[in-house]
Amino acid sequence: MRRTGRGPAAVPAGPRLADLAPDQRLRRLELTVTRRLDGLLHGQYRGLLPGPGSEPAGSREYRPGEDEVRRMDWAVTARTTVPHVRVVDADRELTTWLLVDASASMEFGTAELDKRELSVAAVAAVGFLTAGVGNRLGALLAAPTGLRRFPAQSGRTHLLGLLRALLAAPRTADHDGAPGGLEPPDLTDALRSAERVATRRGLVVVVSDFLDGLPDDPDQPPPWERGLRRLAVRHQVLAVEVTDPRELELPDVGLITLIDPETGRRREVCTSDRRLRERYAAAAAAQRDQVRHALRRSGATHLPLRTDSDWCADIARHVQSQRRLAAAPAGSASGGAA
């Protein structure tokens, strides 16, 4: 949203995150997460499934007196005529895949952080909270230049490198689409890619405003809902919805020019019209309800974040509520841990 005319200049309280050097931004994010979330949210690690392991990792020959007969791999035993047992990976090792929407609509922001920077902050929180021995973190970045993949690895160096790459990702103003004239990937295609790379059961975090392809008819499902539902069948899925206050209501600031970041279309709007502001707020609320219902139908856990709110507190409240649901007796509550 771009405003025409001039108004009283606001006195900045300090440098914005975008004004800092990349290393300074990383340092601020790391300090914010570790100081405010570390210790508050960490607790006993719970496996994704009960038992010593659940993910098939191959087969090996049976060792009498050492292996349990119930772990026999009868298919391999029949093919080789030699007794084999199944080998599984322990559930103590968590693999987290992040899908970060870096489309043009995510570059909007009227608070200290824009939506793109808030998405990086959410990635930092997820990365530091899921860090642990053996845990791995991978990411897919859906940027205007195409879909970029970061292999799943462990360690703080890998996480900081991932955050640095997200902060330095090109913006729409720097490119006229993907290389070779290809269209930038939409959220539906990105979810298909996430389904292909997330082969082991784990946690999938999708960070987006979920406005991509949202139909005008609220009774019609968005195109990305099916992809989220497929991911939720195998993985724990956390949908982080990023919004800005100016997407929810218009201020009374006179004549402004609105620009669609996805298409470049422009429209002049007189925000002094009270009825127009009311219609805008009602339409925006209906749109967010549409997104919320779609996320609920897909089976994903919903975490809304706003650029003008305390995102650390929002994440802390969300994780604590999910842990309470997970610790509740069976049948008294339902929910998934984020």
Domain boundaries, the chain: 19-43+93-243+305-327, 56-89
Of the candidates 318, 311, 257, which has an alpha carbon nearest to the alpha carbon of residue 114?
A: 311
The predicted pLDDT at position 50 comes to 38
The predicted pLDDT at position 307 comes to 93
Name all contacts of 20-23 with Cβ < 8 Å and 24+ positions apart: 22/164, 22/167, 22/168
Question: Which carries the bigger pLDDT value, residue 92 or residue 141?
Answer: 141
H helices within the chain, ranges in order?
Answer: 22-36, 74-80, 115-130, 156-167, 187-197, 225-234, 274-298, 311-327
Residues 140-160: what's their mean pLDDT?
90
Q: To 10 degrees, what angle do helices 274-298 and 225-234 make?
A: 40
Mean pLDDT of the chain: 80
Question: Which carries the bigger pLDDT value, residue 55 or residue 4?
Answer: 55
Strand order in the sheet with 203-208: 146-153, 136-143, 95-101, 203-208, 236-243, 301-306
Span 83-130, pLDDT tens digits:
988 876 555 578 899 999 988 888 888 888 889 999 999 999 988 888
**Residue 95 C-alpha from the chain's centroid:** 14
Among 30-44, 69-83, 92-106, 279-293, whose mean pLDDT is lowest? 30-44
pLDDT band per the 50, 70, 90 thresholds, residue 219: confident
The predicted pLDDT at position 275 comes to 93
By percentage, how much of the chain surpasses pLDDT 90? 32
Question: Which carries the bigger pLDDT value, residue 247 or residue 64?
Answer: 247
Check pLDDT > 50 for residue 338. Answer: no
Q: What is the dihedral of CA 199, 203, 207, 211, to 10 degrees?
A: 70
- On whether the 19-43+93-243+305-327 domain is CATH 3.30.70, my answer is no
Check pLDDT > 70 for residue 133. Answer: no
- Kindly report the CA angle at 163 between 161 and 169, in degrees rounded to 5? 100
Question: Which carries the bigger pLDDT value, residue 183 or residue 234?
Answer: 234
What are the phi and psi torsion angles at 333 (to 5°)?
-160, 160
What residues pair up with 238 in beta bridges, in sequence order?
205, 301
User: What token pair was written down for 197?
Assistant: 């790379």
Check pLDDT > 90 for residue 230. Answer: yes
